[in-house]
Amino acid sequence: MTSPSPVVSKAIVTGHTRGLGAALSEALLARGFSLLGLARTRHPLLAQRFPSAVNEAEIDLSDTRSIEAWLAEGTLQRFLQGARQVLLINNAGTAAPIGPCSLQPPHEVGRSVVLNVAAPLMLSSAFAAASSNLPDRRIAHVSSGAARNAYAGWGIYCATKAALDHHARAVALDGERAMRVATIAPGVVDTDMQTALREVDEGRFPSRGKFVELKQTGQLSSPQQAAEKFIEYLLSDSFGQTPTVDLRSLPAQ
């Protein structure tokens, strides 16, 4: 009798419960990946649809002490064991607080910086250490056009996404064995984050009208469209050759 083949492809996805992260997770599960999803809540359906492949941890990624405590439990290390190809997609993020510098509550600034930067960087370090003997390991930070263009009212979002871009550039230079890293900007995707942006007061976010227009003229991608393109690229040989990528600039596949 042959023993069941081990799961050789495993992915850790933050913010897997909604929006782009949920679509990325589904796209990976459909390709046979085993998933470890990290968010404050659980996905309403994924564990029922893929009972043997979905693992979830409820964690507030805007709190460094929670992240440290969770990493110390060893769940990440145990999950990666025995895999051949392992992925970390740092997707969870927030566009808040929105508004000029003087109107950004400092405690919200702190939580946003932890969620958008400290959590991805802490998870990346833990992932790199735990996967050091594996033959194919890839880290993708979900970036944004805001990392590369400045917008009034988006100081924290622009700064935190730019930090991810620069982290990828530097880590790529480390030249760690079998490690590929890059940030991927997904374009404008029809998620709760976009809904919230369209509801912000224009005085706080002068570009609001542009995002309303993109929605009204049908120019947002669906989470599924963005996720398919993202995963195709992440799993391709091209991933990691350029540290910062925008899905909108990739040739159609």
Say whether residue 13 binds ligand NAP (CB under 6 A).
no
Pattern 82-101, binding to ligand NAP, x per CB under 6 A? ---------xxxx-------
179 closest CA partner among 135, 231, 236, 142: 135
Assign 48 to helix, strand or coil. Answer: helix
Say whether residue 17 binds ligand NAP (CB under 6 A).
yes
Q: How many residues bind ligand NAP (CB under 6 A)?
A: 27
Q: In the range 57-76, which residues lie near ligand NAP by CB under 6 A? A: 60-62
Q: Which residue has the tokens 């970036």?
A: 143
Q: In the range 165-184, which residues lie near ligand NAP by CB under 6 A? A: none
Residue closer to ligand NAP by CB (options 174, 192) is 192
The DSSP element (H or E) to which 69 belongs, if any, is helix 64-73
Partners of 86 in the β-ladder: 10, 137
Assign 105 to helix, strand or coil. Answer: coil
184 closest CA partner among 112, 134, 122, 236: 236
Among 104, 144, 183, 244, interactor with ligand NAP by CB under 6 A: 144
Say whether residue 189 binds ligand NAP (CB under 6 A).
yes
Query: In the bound complex, what is the minimum distance in angstroms from residue 81's beta carbon to ligand NAP?
Result: 24
Residue closer to ligand NAP by CB (options 131, 194) is 194
Say whether residue 41 binds ligand NAP (CB under 6 A).
yes
Say whether residue 188 binds ligand NAP (CB under 6 A).
yes
Rounded CA-CA distance 217/221 in Å is 12
Among 115, 163, 168, 235, interactor with ligand NAP by CB under 6 A: 115
Q: Output b/e per residue, 144-153; b: 16+ Cβ within 10 A.
A: bebbeeebeb
Q: Any idea what the Cα angle at residue 93 is, between residues 90 and 94, rounded to 5°?
A: 170
Say whether residue 120 binds ligand NAP (CB under 6 A).
no
For binding to ligand NAP (CB under 6 A), which residues are involved? 15, 17-21, 39-41, 60-62, 91-94, 115, 142, 144, 185-186, 188-189, 191-194
